[in-house]
Each structure stands twice: as C-alpha cells, then as structure tokens.
Amino acid sequence: MPTLKQNDTPSTAPRRSDEPIWWSLFSAGGVCVAMLVPAIALLVLLGIPLGLVSAEQLSYQRLHALVFHPLGLGVVLAVIVLPLFHAMHRIHHGLHDLKLAHGRLAKWLCYGSAVLLSAVALWLWLSGGNTSV
C-alpha cells in the first residue's frame, strides 16, 4: 500500500451517517414481519379458503371492534408501519445491488414512500374509528 499524501485526507470531518435510524427501523420491522405477518396472512387474508376461520369470525363488527380499539394503534404500527420501513430499506439496497438506482433520489423515494404510506395508515386508523356499526 502506498502511503497517502497529506492532501489525500479529507479536510472536513466526516458527516455523521443516518444509517443507524433506517437500520433500526428495518430491524424492528423484521421482527414484526417474522412474528406477526404469518398469523395475519394465515388467519385474516387466507383463513376462510384454508378453513381455519369462518366468515362470521371475520365479521365487520368483530374486526371493527378489534382494529379500532385503542390498542389497535399498536397493531397498525407493528403490522403496517414498521414492515413498510423494513420493506423499503431492502428495496433501497436492492436497487443499489441490481445497479438500477443509487444515490440521494433513490433513498428519498424509498424512505419517503414508507413515511407517506405510514401517514396514510395512521390517518385511516384515526378517521375510521368513528363510523357507526
């Protein structure tokens, strides 16, 4: 290895990376995807054709009461918001790996869409609880 000259070293201090934020959200989302997504896919989205639940069990009254319960906000966070950040983190890195896109724009689009869709989920949850049965 040749020795670096003095002017090869950057004059400014390195910028602090924001990667820990995105990686933490990715990781937390990964836990939620592993622990909660199988149950919801199995019982709510595929439950009737698989014969695991009846149509009555997925009735409007029951689901509305469950989802719009105050604790339902935690469910929205765990099964929509965090998995969104998990997915968009992998898409961001996948775009780079496949040489499709890299740089600031791709990063803004990826995490920006995760933020936007999370806001949509929160808005749907806040506005949907008022409908009368």
Partner 1 sequence: MSRKPYQPPMPASWWLKHPAYRFYMLREATVLPLLFFIGCLLYGLYALGQGEASWRQYQAWLQQPWVLALNGLALLASLFHAWTFFVLFPQVMPLRLGSHTLPAWLMVSAQWAGVLLTVIALWWLLGGLDADA
- Whichever of 4 and 14 has its CB closer to partner 1, that residue is 4
User: Which two three-digit tokens encode residue 43?
Assistant: 């019982």
Count of residues touching partner 1 (by CB under 8 A):
59
Segment 22 to 61, residues that bind partner 1, using CB under 8 A: 30-31, 33-49, 52-58, 60
| Cα distance between residue 107 and residue 109, in whole Å | 5
The structure tokens 């149509």 sit at 55
| Cα distance between residue 46 and residue 51, in whole Å | 9
Q: Give the chain's length.
A: 133
Smallest Cα–Cα separation from 81: which of 52, 45, 106, 115?
A: 115
- Whichever of 35 and 105 has its CB closer to partner 1, that residue is 35
Segment 95 to 124, residues that bind partner 1, using CB under 8 A: 97-100, 117, 120-121, 124
Yes or no: say if 68 and 122 are a contact pair by the CB < 8 Å rule: no
Per CB under 8 A, 93 contacts partner 1: yes
Report the interface residues with partner 1, using CB under 8 A: 2, 30-31, 33-49, 52-58, 60, 62-64, 66-68, 76, 79-80, 83-84, 86-87, 90-91, 93-94, 97-100, 117, 120-121, 124-125, 127-129, 131, 133
